[in-house]
Amino acid sequence: MFIERDRPRAHLVVDDFFAPAALSAIFAEVHALDRRMKPGLVRDIGHDGQSVFFAHPRRRNRAAWIHESSKTLRLFREHLFAEPMLERFESAREPLFQIIPSCWAPHLQVSSYMTGDHYDFHEDEGAGVNLTAVVFLAADPAKVRGGDLVLAYRGEEATVRFRHNRLVIFPSKTLHRVTRVRVASTDTKDARISLQCWLTHGRPAAKAKRRAPEADRPTFLLTEEPIVAVAQAMVDSPGAPDTTPEAMYWGAFYLTRILSANLRCLGERLGVDLGAIRIRRGAGLEVYGRARVDGAPVRVGFRLAGPEVAPTGALSLFVEAGRGRAASTSRSVVPPGADERESAAILRRLLARGRASDRRG
């Protein structure tokens, strides 16, 4: 069944999307992904259009991304771009759906919903993203209740009921949510599953080297001068200038969203559990977490100097080993334009230095 609906905004509903043989292969891969699933993150737009991903109560599920080596991704592409589907897309009333034959499905996100899980209203955004395609799946549909897709536009809403093996395609900038799910089981194999794909216009060049996206990862925007400068104004310093409400907003965003998310990301990359991320305001602003490395306590974080320091040298990574008077601190400025790999290398050296000084103490 292929249905094109107009309200509240044009969307397509296709039932029985995958063939039975394809479903068997897909469930085998999805079940094997369970150990890689992590809590789903939400995306916000930061300074200069950059993105940052963080945990938020409006999204409760688990998710993982799959790329070129995935059989599920291959089967999704085969079914979406099969000749009968392409003919239906080209004859769609909505011109946006007519471009699907010229689109590409670069990757899939697999989302797993158990009892109590949901995803509140949000939009899908990204470079080149025009359409969102979602397939609903359940190994045992009789055990799943809720998990409907609600689309909203200009004050009007429409609900697309959860049905196993149903494909829904809609404009990505449409507000949408997933209603709360109930699963008559505690086995994650019985979860309500979504396969989400963000269709992008145009296909990659045949010989282009495609880099798997770092999805649901923080964007490293550590030393972008304008946003660092407004954050410096929040340091408790005599030289701090008067700031506008907008500047205060971006300064707070930089500290609470960008630096906090990236510090947690660095800890995960180095296998260091930093626990709760905290912010300390004084002569310098510190965004930090605490951990134990080789059994010794350490404090790890970013330090932002006040406006007396140029933005290009205002941000540093630090590791404080030990406590009280015996504590020793190693610090290194994060150079402009530093990416995740370079920042992780700086932090790794500081941790090694901290361990050495702690042993000497």
Q: What percent of the chain has pLDDT over 70?
A: 83
User: Tens of pLDDT along 157-179?
Assistant: 999 999 999 999 999 889 999 99
Q: Topology of 2-201 in CATH?
A: Jelly Rolls (2.60.120)
Nearest of 116, 115, 90, 119 to residue 102 by alpha carbon:
90
Q: Is the preceding peptide bond at 8 cis, omega within 30 degrees of 0?
A: yes
- What local confidence, expressed as pLDDT, does residue 251 receive? 75
- Per the model's pLDDT, the better-predicted residue between 296 and 132 turns out to be 132
| pLDDT > 60? residue 241 | no
Q: Is the pLDDT of residue 357 over 60?
A: no
Q: Which of 5-19, 255-269, 296-310 has the highest mean pLDDT?
A: 5-19
317 and 347 Cβ atoms separated by less than 8 Å: yes
The pLDDT score that the predictor gives to residue 126 is 61
Does 237 score more than 70 pLDDT? Answer: no
203 pLDDT above the threshold of 80: no
Domain ranges of the chain: 2-201, 225-360
57-91 residue pLDDT tens: 999 999 999 988 899 999 999 999 999 999 999 99
pLDDT at 217: 46
Please give the Cα distance from 201 to 99 (Å, whole number). 8
Distance CA 327, CA 194 (A): 49
DSSP state of 281: -
Three-state DSSP at 77 gives: helix
Q: Report the percentage of the chain scoring pLDDT > 90.
A: 49
Element (H, E) at 160: strand 156-160
pLDDT band at 50 (very low <50, low <70, confident <90, very high): low
CA-to-CA dists, residue 264 to 180, 267, 291, angstroms: 28, 5, 12
| Arithmetic mean of pLDDT, 215-236 | 66
Structure-token match 């249905």, residue found = 3
276 φ/ψ angles, rounded to the nearest 5 degrees: -70, 135
What is the predicted pLDDT for the residue at 187? 97
pLDDT of residue 51: 62
Name the phi and psi angles at 327, rounded to 5. -70, 140
pTM here is 0.62
Cβ 290 vs Cβ 298: under 8 Å: yes
Mean pLDDT of 44-52: 57
Q: What angle do CA 22, 28, 31 make, to 5 degrees?
A: 135
* pLDDT of 247 strictly over 90: no
pLDDT at 269: 84
Residue 245: cis peptide before it, omega within 30 degrees of 0: no
Round the average pLDDT of the chain to a whole number and report it.
85
